[in-house]
């Protein structure tokens, strides 16, 4: 057993609900409950240590009749509701949590908090709960968090993130020394930008034309931890657009992730890179995916996209998904050339509702992966779609849409385009000079984005609630 670290993700909608519930005009303290989903990461791919991530799943108010007393320095309430919370958490395999405010003080755990919580933690463990989480909302939007891991021991958070259209990650320790390599971007975004970007953990799924450009940009931006996921080796037809690839890589049968890792290392900033040669649905990738702060979806594969679409909702990890549609002109028909960047997170319409993934195609891809012979047979009989001519691809367009995607991340982190955060769905038309934001409504009863049941739900069996 290594040293376990803890981080907490609050979905923006939950953080807002808590701030509203806990605000008192007279400046007195207030409290509420919260239920967390967990990501129980056996081995963080960068630190090789275990990591627990708690993701907010549901806010549970403490009702007025449960309140006993409160002032600017204390709050007490009856434990009836707490017993109900423990029961619900146990039954639904969630982690119970407390939130209280220090309206006029810092976010920290006082000795009074230690005493009170130790008592509540004892009750939680006696009731068979996994643990008891606790958050303090202090002045100036500061948040402190910890998890009682036994009746006597607590684990403090290494970071607390508030995840919505803005990505707000507060790391407790800054591991970074300044480097002149990144000085010019600090000149634009301020001195806090580089420490934040260097503590960031980003997964890139798909390392072809768009993915390699995304990786190249993230590397030079200084993203400290990169996870590259792709199953493929490079071939001659990829050389026109995979950044960093060389003809000799084709001759040597090199994997795309290894080519990109080589380039990252040669850059020399010290970005920590891990590579995984696997398809995104492979169970061996779960620790890697769950350890990320943000994911870029750069695959062409419908089943992979559907997996990431669910994943973003279960774990509150934003997915920035990219796609291109390139059609040549024919007689009487103009070029049709468009790129898309979509941000998927709880609260945004999902990729299914947007109509950019096809469940049918996904099923065909699954068959192709599991039983290539049967896939070919059905394809020859025209029962399945896909596997047709390879799509056209030109480096300027794959790279351009990668820039749109990474700009969206920078917008989420800095708000340079305003406080609204990341745009849900951005379309760039290359055949015209045009960028547009185009969103949609969630389809009624969409099992991913039109229900809060899976938002922040974390680990469930089977993984992501998907059988098979
Ligand atoms: Zn307190
Ligand atoms: Zn949906």
Q: Over the range 212-228, which residues count as b (16 or more CB within 10 Å of their CB) and which as e?
A: bbbbbbbbbbbbbbbbb
- Residue-level pLDDT at 387: 57
**CA dihedral over 109, 458, 46, 306, signed as positive or negative:** negative
Nearest alpha carbon to residue 202 among 175, 229, 171: 229
Nearest alpha carbon to residue 37 among 343, 455, 458: 458
**Residue owning tokens 């220090």:** 102
Query: Ligand 1 centroid vs 108 CA: distance in angstroms?
Result: 7
Query: Ligand 2 centroid vs 28 CA: distance in angstroms?
Result: 40
Instruction: Locate 132 and state its tokens.
Output: 């008891």
Distance CA 111, CA 68 (A): 20
Instruction: Locate 448 and state its tokens.
Output: 């991913």
Query: Ligand 2 centroid vs 309 CA: distance in angstroms?
Result: 9
- Model's pTM, two decimal places? 0.95
Distance CA 316, CA 305 (A): 16
Query: Ligand 2 centroid vs 442 CA: distance in angstroms?
Result: 5
Contact 20, 421 (CB under 8 A): no
Query: Ligand 2 centroid vs 205 CA: distance in angstroms?
Result: 21
Which ligand is located closest to the Cα atom of residue 107?
A: 1
Helices (H), 163-269: 183-189, 193-199, 209-221, 247-251, 256-267
Distance CA 166, CA 411 (A): 8
- Residue-level pLDDT at 176: 67
Contact 22, 101 (CB under 8 A): yes
Cα dihedral: 230, 265, 218, 192 (round 10): 140
Query: Ligand 1 centroid vs 425 CA: distance in angstroms?
Result: 41
Which ligand is located closest to the Cα atom of residue 444?
A: 2
Which ligand is located closest to the Cα atom of residue 105?
A: 1
Query: Ligand 1 centroid vs 332 CA: distance in angstroms?
Result: 71
Hey, how many other C-beta atoms are within 10 angstroms of the C-beta on 278?
15
- Residue-level pLDDT at 362: 85
Distance CA 339, CA 348 (A): 19
Residue 262, by phi and psi: left (phi above 0), alpha (psi -120 to 50) or beta?
alpha
Query: Ligand 2 centroid vs 306 CA: distance in angstroms?
Result: 10
- Residue-level pLDDT at 316: 98
- Residue-level pLDDT at 174: 66
Residue ranges of the chain with per-residue pLDDT less than 50? none
Contact 298, 257 (CB under 8 A): no
3-class secondary structure, 337: strand
Which ligand is located closest to the Cα atom of residue 144?
A: 1
Nearest alpha carbon to residue 309 among 171, 443, 168, 170: 443
- Residue-level pLDDT at 386: 57
Q: Are strands 95-101 and 425-429 parallel, antiparallel or unpaired?
A: unpaired
Hey, how many other C-beta atoms are within 10 angstroms of the C-beta on 1?
5
Which ligand is located closest to the Cα atom of residue 138?
A: 1
Query: Ligand 1 centroid vs 137 CA: distance in angstroms?
Result: 9
Which residues lie below 8 Å from residue 14, measured CB to CB, with a gap of 6+?
34, 56, 58, 59, 456
Instruction: Locate 238 and state its tokens.
Output: 């990829």
Query: Ligand 1 centroid vs 250 CA: distance in angstroms?
Result: 60
- Residue-level pLDDT at 384: 65
Which ligand is located closest to the Cα atom of residue 451?
A: 2
């Amino acid at each position: 057993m290594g040293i376990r670290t803890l981080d907490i993700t609050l979905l923006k909608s939950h953080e807002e609900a808590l701030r509203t519930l806990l605000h008192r005009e007279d400046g007195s303290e207030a409290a509420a409950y919260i239920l967390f989903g967990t990501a129980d990461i056996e081995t963080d791919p960068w630190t090789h240590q275990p990591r627990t991530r708690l993701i907010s799943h549901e806010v549970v108010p403490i009702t007025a009749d449960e309140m006993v007393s409160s002032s600017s320095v204390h709050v007490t309430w009856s434990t009836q509701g707490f017993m109900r919370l423990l029961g619900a958490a146990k039954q639904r395999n969630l982690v119970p949590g407390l939130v209280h405010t220090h309206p006029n003080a810092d976010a920290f755990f006082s000795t009074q908090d230690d005493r009170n919580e130790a008592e509540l933690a004892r009750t939680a463990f006696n009731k068979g709960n996994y643990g008891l989480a606790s958050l303090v909302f202090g002045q100036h939007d500061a948040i402190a968090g910890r998890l009682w891991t036994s009746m006597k021991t607590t684990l403090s958070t290494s970071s607390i993130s508030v995840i919505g259209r803005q990505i707000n990650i507060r790391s407790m320790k800054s591991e970074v020394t300044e480097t002149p390599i990144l000085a010019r971007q600090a000149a634009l975004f301020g001195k806090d930008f580089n420490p934040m970007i260097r503590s960031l953990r980003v997964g890139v799924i798909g390392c072809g034309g768009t993915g390699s450009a995304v990786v190249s940009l993230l590397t030079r931006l200084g993203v400290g931890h990169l996870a590259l996921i792709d199953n493929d080796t490079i071939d001659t037809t990829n050389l026109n657009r995979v950044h960093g690839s060389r003809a000799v890589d084709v001759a040597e049968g090199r994997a795309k992730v290894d080519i990109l890792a080589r380039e990252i290392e040669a850059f020399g900033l010290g970005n920590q890179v891990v590579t995984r040669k696997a398809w995104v649905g492979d169970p061996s990738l779960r620790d890697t995916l769950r350890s990320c702060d943000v994911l870029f979806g750069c695959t062409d594969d419908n089943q992979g996209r559907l997996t990431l679409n669910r994943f973003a909702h279960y774990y509150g990890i934003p997915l920035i998904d990219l796609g291109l549609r390139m059609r040549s002109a024919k007689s009487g028909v103009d070029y049709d050339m468009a790129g898309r960047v979509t941000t998927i997170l709880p609260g945004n319409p999902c990729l299914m509702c947007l109509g950019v993934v096809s469940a049918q195609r996904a099923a065909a891809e699954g068959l192709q992966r599991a039983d290539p012979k049967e896939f070919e047979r059905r394809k020859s009989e025209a029962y399945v779609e896909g596997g047709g001519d390879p799509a056209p691809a030109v480096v300027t367009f794959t790279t351009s849409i990668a820039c749109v995607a990474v700009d969206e991340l920078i917008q989420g982190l800095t708000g340079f385009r305003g406080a609204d955060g990341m745009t849900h769905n951005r379309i760039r038309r290359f055949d015209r000079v045009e960028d547009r934001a185009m969103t949609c409504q969630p389809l009624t009863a969409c099992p991913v984005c039109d229900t809060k049941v899976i938002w922040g739900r974390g680990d469930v069996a089977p993984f992501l609630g998907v059988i098979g």
